A and B are shown apart, each in its own frame.
Chain A
Amino acid sequence: MSVFSLLLVELKKIRRSKIFLILMIPVMMMWIPSTINAKMNFDVRGIPITPENNFFIQGFMGMTWFMIPATLVIGTVLLTQTERSQNGILKMLSLPVRTSTLCLTKFAVLIFLSMVQMVFCIGAYYASAAIASQLQNYNFILNPSFVCVNALALYWGAVPMAAVFWMFAILIKTPVFSVGLGLVSIVPSVLVIHTKMWFVYPMSYPFYLLMVQYGKAAEGMYATQIDRMPWLPVAVIITVLALAVSCIRFGASERR
């Protein structure tokens, strides 16, 4: 079976899971209050930032801090639990497909789900920015290339975290631990990004990237440049290591 058809099979499996609803509701929840309270963006409290940048960053703040990681955790639950009933995973493992390919395809679906959320997010941003511009008589709409590049960077920064969550889901068969660990690990990222060692904690990457964007838009709030040097190699190592471990251990408890 080619990787592509395997991917299509995996996508077919989640067709009726209502996951797209779960991806979409938080996006709408995020932009409705920020559209209604768009007026607050003019009150910058002495921070040198333009209202349209403020609107963009405040809107994405909750998303990157909490919802991107939480969505990934939900995605891992979806991917591991859909095949639990009637031992679906056993049937998949008996197919002439390498288990590591299967594991990586499922991971690709996880990334695909977060990309879908990104598209929803960009769409919702433009809708709410357009409405807010009408309501406040001020142009909140930012350049599409700027918005798309930034949103892509935030979600791209979530890939190492996704790999780590996927490793949790495979290594820890008891869902309460894998889910609990995932959710609990979100909370400290607020503190971690203010330390020097933020790059060893993959759950803080998207938030860090957004904070750098904040620093660029408002002088003196945070770093204005992304610290690429220790970060990129560490991120690659974490991702590769997590994926390697999950490929090796995928289906191990079923094969025993």
Chain B
Amino acid sequence: MTFILETKKLKRTGYLPAFLGAGIISCAFPVVNMLARSETFTSLPGNPFEILMDANWQMMAMLNILITICGACIMYHTEYADNGALKMDTLPVKPIRLFFCKFLITAEILAAIILFQIIVLTGCAVYWFPDSAFDFLTILKTAGFEWLVSLPTVTLMLLISSMCKNMWISLGAGVILVFTFSIFPQDNFVLRLLPFSAPYQTLSMADENVHIQLFCMVCVLQTAVLYLGETLYVKARRYLA
């Protein structure tokens, strides 16, 4: 019930078209890159798919993070803008359930976008590199990994936007986090595990250092902890307000 309500709320905010638009732009990225300078990449040795991932994923992941921030801000903006959150509080619905549904929606859309992005990247590899073929297992594995490592970012961003009544503050906080993690040195391993930094990780990069399991575990753990944080925040808000 709450889930259907949540999707209805988003209907006129342009949430879905915005995500689709961002998804299409990010998918256009590797295609344009290959059209412009395919020789730079086709001459490189190694696995074609991994070459393309290394060349394009940073930008694509950044677009994913930015649209996640934007989406999270909008989701809570609709609640706070006309005191909708107060009305929701009077309903027999637990506030944490709202959060869970919002998380579920974002995670689903993000999964679709990431899967699409990986398919496009594979398509580029097949088109421009003679000796590569569609391998559905790799596609699913990569997409699953990239999705999982972006979940803590989604949760943290939703947590921030649930805390800020004004949209510019949650947006500002999200943008500052993106900025901070983009300037911190990339060679620090602990930093790379954190939300807003983990989505840039590619599967092959994690595979090289035998970190796939670690990444998956840490990201699931972070998501759970942040979810718990929201539960506590919702409880605390009731007592403080």
A29 CA to B15 CA, complexed, in Å: 31
Q: Does A89 contact B (CB under 8 A)?
A: no
A26 CA to B241 CA, complexed, in Å: 30
Query: Known: A183-B70, A184-B63. Is A33-B168 also a contact (CB below 8 A)?
Result: no
A75 CA to B52 CA, complexed, in Å: 36
A64 CA to B169 CA, complexed, in Å: 21
Q: Is the interface of A mostly helix, strand, loop or mixed?
A: helix
Distance (whole angstroms) from the CB of B79 to the closest CB of chain A: 13
Contact between A81 and B66, CB atoms less than 8 A apart: no
Contact between A70 and B179, CB atoms less than 8 A apart: yes
Interface residues of A in 171-189 (CB under 8 A from B): 174-177, 179-180, 183-184, 186-187
Range of interface residues on B (Cβ < 8 Å): 35 or more
Distance (whole angstroms) from the CB of B40 to the closest CB of chain A: 12
Contact between B67 and A81, CB atoms less than 8 A apart: no
Query: Known: A84-B81, A85-B81, A176-B74. Is A74-B175 also a contact (CB below 8 A)?
Result: yes
Q: Is the interface of B mostly helix, strand, loop or mixed?
A: helix
Q: Does A101 contact B (CB under 8 A)?
A: no
A168 CA to B81 CA, complexed, in Å: 20
Contact between B13 and A74, CB atoms less than 8 A apart: no
Chain B, residues 169-191, CB within 8 Å of chain A (1/0): the string is 10111011011101111000000
Of the listed stretches A14-22, A44-52, A212-220, A240-248, chain B binds A14-22
Contact pick for A77, options B13, B71, B168, B184, CB 8 Å: B168
Q: Does B25 contact A (CB under 8 A)?
A: yes
Q: Does A30 contact B (CB under 8 A)?
A: yes
Residue of A nearest to B169 (CB): A18
Interface residues of B in 61-116 (CB under 8 A from A): 62-63, 66-67, 69-71, 73-74, 77, 81-82
Q: How many residues of A contact B (CB 8 A)?
A: 34
Q: Does A134 contact B (CB under 8 A)?
A: no
Query: Known: A29-B183, A33-B183, A66-B178. Is A74-B74 also a contact (CB below 8 A)?
Result: no
Contact between B172 and A177, CB atoms less than 8 A apart: no
Q: Does A150 contact B (CB under 8 A)?
A: no
Contact between A62 and B13, CB atoms less than 8 A apart: no
Q: Does B225 contact A (CB under 8 A)?
A: no
Contact between B176 and A179, CB atoms less than 8 A apart: no
Interface residues of A in 1-31 (CB under 8 A from B): 17-19, 22, 25-26, 29-30
Query: Known: A175-B77, A177-B18. Is A183-B176 also a contact (CB below 8 A)?
Result: no
Q: Does A67 contact B (CB under 8 A)?
A: yes
Q: Does B229 contact A (CB under 8 A)?
A: no
Count of inter-chain pairs, beta carbons less than 8 A: 98
Query: Known: A175-B77, A176-B74. Is A77-B167 also a contact (CB below 8 A)?
Result: yes
Chain A residues with CB under 8 Å of B169's CB are 18, 22
A18 CA to B73 CA, complexed, in Å: 17
Contact pick for B66, options A18, A174, A184, CB 8 Å: A184
Contact between B166 and A184, CB atoms less than 8 A apart: no
Q: Does A37 contact B (CB under 8 A)?
A: yes
A73 CA to B174 CA, complexed, in Å: 12
Distance (whole angstroms) from the CB of B11 to the closest CB of chain A: 12
Contact between B179 and A74, CB atoms less than 8 A apart: no
Q: Does B45 contact A (CB under 8 A)?
A: no
Chain A residues with CB under 8 Å of B167's CB are 77, 81, 175
Query: Known: A33-B185, A180-B18. Is A22-B13 also a contact (CB below 8 A)?
Result: no
Q: Does A252 contact B (CB under 8 A)?
A: no
Contact pick for A74, options B18, B77, B82, B168, CB 8 Å: B168
Residues of chain B at the chain A interface (Cβ within 8 Å):
13-15, 17-18, 21-22, 25, 59, 62-63, 66-67, 69-71, 73-74, 77, 81-82, 166-169, 171-173, 175-176, 178-180, 182-185
Q: List 19 A-B contacts (CB under 8 A).
A: A17-B168, A18-B166, A19-B168, A22-B173, A29-B176, A30-B179, A33-B184, A77-B168, A81-B81, A84-B81, A176-B18, A176-B70, A177-B18, A179-B171, A180-B21, A180-B67, A183-B66, A184-B25, A187-B62
